[in-house]
A and B are shown apart, each in its own frame.
Chain A
Amino acid sequence: MPRTLDAKHFQAHPSDWFPRYQHRAGRILLRVLLLALVAAGAFLFLLPLAWMVSTAGKAPSLTWKVPPVWIPPDYKWQNFVESWNMLPFPRFYYNTITITLLSVAGVLVSSSLAAFAFARLKFPGRDMLFLLVLAVLMLPGQITMIPVYILYTKLGLVNTHPSLYLQSWLGDAFSIFMLRQFFMTIPLDLDDAARIDGASRFGVFLRIIVPLSKPALAVVAIFQFTFMWNNFFRPLIYINDLRLFPVALALRLFQDETRIDLQYMMAQTVVFVVPVLILFFVAQRFFIQGIVITGVKG
């Protein structure tokens, strides 16, 4: 399983469709061209992010200048501070962080328990129930969104934070699927050894399965974190009270019909994006493992 995106781990089978020229010079030229193409592509891809960061530090007059000034002569770091103070961002980030962390905890607990049952326990209806788990993956959210909203209204959960993370505590089909596949790769010998030593089945879960599944659990946690951090739709439907806004909803408050402070909006968007980017760079191999696990299995 590739751990990082570097050549060392990814070069087991270089794809061989590239035309091989007889002359070494021709091959080198082709490689140089390819490198140029790749570099140009990467540059284009990063341009929007660079523009975002650049605009965040501009004085109001510069933001509307065309062609854009890439490096403002005087990068206004105070834009970040001023925009932070314009709205109750500490509150918004507190909301986002609590919702996200509670959601991640919920998914980890509920999904790993269910995956454990499917992977390790024998019981009537196991295969049928697992099929139901998979069937849910095909379900578009729009159908269940309305009845769930009505239910939450009747339960008085609208305009509260639990409406956003409660579902995470009731299992996530994708995580259950992924964790079950992973649990099944852990040798049964370890389970047996633990049981001989007197562990209960649940003890096996806590002391064998969970500690050995840290990579898979990390993937689940990272995906859920990214999803909840950026989540816009659910808060849009459920949260009306400004004090309960997550940052995703709050960012739009900069967009006023009459007056748009682009540099402030970009500054706070940068701040919003940074934690997820940091998480990505730190946990890169888990991101990639997660993507690859889900897709390569087909």
Chain B
Amino acid sequence: MTSRSDSMFGSKRKVGAARLHVSGKHREWLLAYACLSLWFIGFMILQAGAMVYSFLLSFFHADMLTPARFIGLANYQRMLGDSLFLKSLGVTSRYALAAVPLGVTLSLLVALMLNEKLPAQGVWRTLFYVPSVVSGIAVAILWGWMFNPSVGLINSGLAVFGIQGPRWLASEQWALPAFVIMSLWGVGGNMLLYLAGLQSIPTDLYEAAKIDGATAASRFWHVTLPMLSPTLFFTTVMGIIAAFQLFTEPYVMTGGGPNNATLTAVLQIYRVSFEQFRFGYASVLAWILFAIILLCTLLVFRSSALWVYYEAELRK
């Protein structure tokens, strides 16, 4: 037994020793702030502080070699006329517009198929998920060679059906579609989410629908999809954010070409920052990209009232 008198709600007093009397409540606060200190330092310096700094930087000409020079809105004006950056926004938007809906649809289809009773179900699900564990640079290297017009797997596969494959990464037209196709390889992650979502749809809803005479298609549209819509919403938003930040693959596979057909926004920002060292201008570009992503996300949020159905709102 200890010689301390202790109470759960008050302070501990050591018998016979002088001790600073701090109330239990305040000790809790101190502990909390101590636990949060690492995160808070990181937040203030690397997040909030960085955002403020980045915003301020956008009004300067800063290249780290010469002293920073205040130039007001000149960077913003330059951005409006920067055809290369505007092109990169177009490329990124087209990529997101294609990759996100296709990815969501394909993951949903696969999830629906794998939700049925099939032999060796676990094996199939694992096989579909494994590719999404391989990421970033490995994917870029592998698919860079898969799309090789002469010896790559894609064109070899097409040749089996007698189709002459395009020049993919060497073709202005087909380079971006190549990236979209590549992104579909990672549907495993979303597939798992949809599987979990599908599992949690109560069967009595389907029973009720059947009693009302609903067809299979109708059951899908009026039971499955609405009940799955929160998950679909989540993956759509996450997908948009990720699609707009595509960098590693274009950097490694095409360097943004051919003729800037795969120049994504982040790739261009990277170039302006770390190849041209125009940090002030790069900050403007980063903020514009952020604004666009925010806008798209807000649009999806707003539209969600129309198509996302939250069980909890009605039942509870």
Contacts and interface: CB of A to CB of B under 8 A. Distances in A.
Contacts of A292: 192-193, 196
Contact of A48 (B28, B118, B142, B247): B142
A284 B126 contact: yes
Nearest to B45: A151
Given A13-B199, A37-B113, A45-B185, A232 B137 contact: yes
A122 B287 CA distance: 36
Chain B contact surface mostly: helix
Interface in A4-31: 4-7, 10-20, 31
A48 B39 contact: no
Contacts of B51: 139, 143-144, 147
Contacts of A232: 136-137, 248, 252
B122 A7 contact: yes
Interface stretch (B79-87, B93-101, B170-178, B226-234): B226-234
A222 B62 CA distance: 39
Contact of A291 (B35, B192, B203): B192
A241 to B, nearest CB: 16
Contacts of B32: 117, 121-123, 126
Interface in A265-293: 265-266, 269, 272-273, 276-277, 280, 284, 287-288, 291-292
Nearest to B209: A16
Interface string B193-228: 101111111110010001000001101100110000
Contacts of B129: 5, 287
Interface of B: 2, 4, 6, 8, 25, 27-29, 31-33, 35-36, 38-43, 45-47, 49-51, 53-54, 57, 62, 64, 110, 112-119, 121-131, 133-138, 141-143, 145-146, 150-151, 153, 156, 159-160, 185, 189, 192-193, 195-203, 206, 210, 216-217, 219-220, 223-224, 230-231, 233-235, 241, 244-245, 247-248, 251-252, 266, 269-270, 273-274, 279, 282-283, 286-287, 289-290, 293-294, 297
Given A15-B116, A49-B134, A277-B130, 19 more contacts: A2-B196, A5-B125, A14-B117, A14-B203, A31-B117, A66-B159, A110-B42, A122-B28, A138-B294, A144-B46, A147-B51, A149-B273, A167-B42, A195-B8, A230-B138, A233-B248, A280-B130, A291-B192, A298-B234
16 contacts: A5-B125, A6-B121, A35-B119, A41-B110, A46-B130, A51-B142, A68-B153, A110-B38, A114-B36, A123-B33, A140-B244, A146-B282, A147-B57, A233-B247, A251-B138, A251-B141
Interface of A: 2, 4-7, 10-20, 31, 34-35, 37-39, 41-42, 45-49, 51-52, 55, 63-68, 109-111, 113-114, 116-117, 121-124, 126, 129, 132-133, 136, 138-151, 153, 167, 169-171, 176, 192, 195-196, 198, 201-202, 205, 226, 230-233, 236-237, 248, 251-252, 262, 265-266, 269, 272-273, 276-277, 280, 284, 287-288, 291-292, 295-296, 298
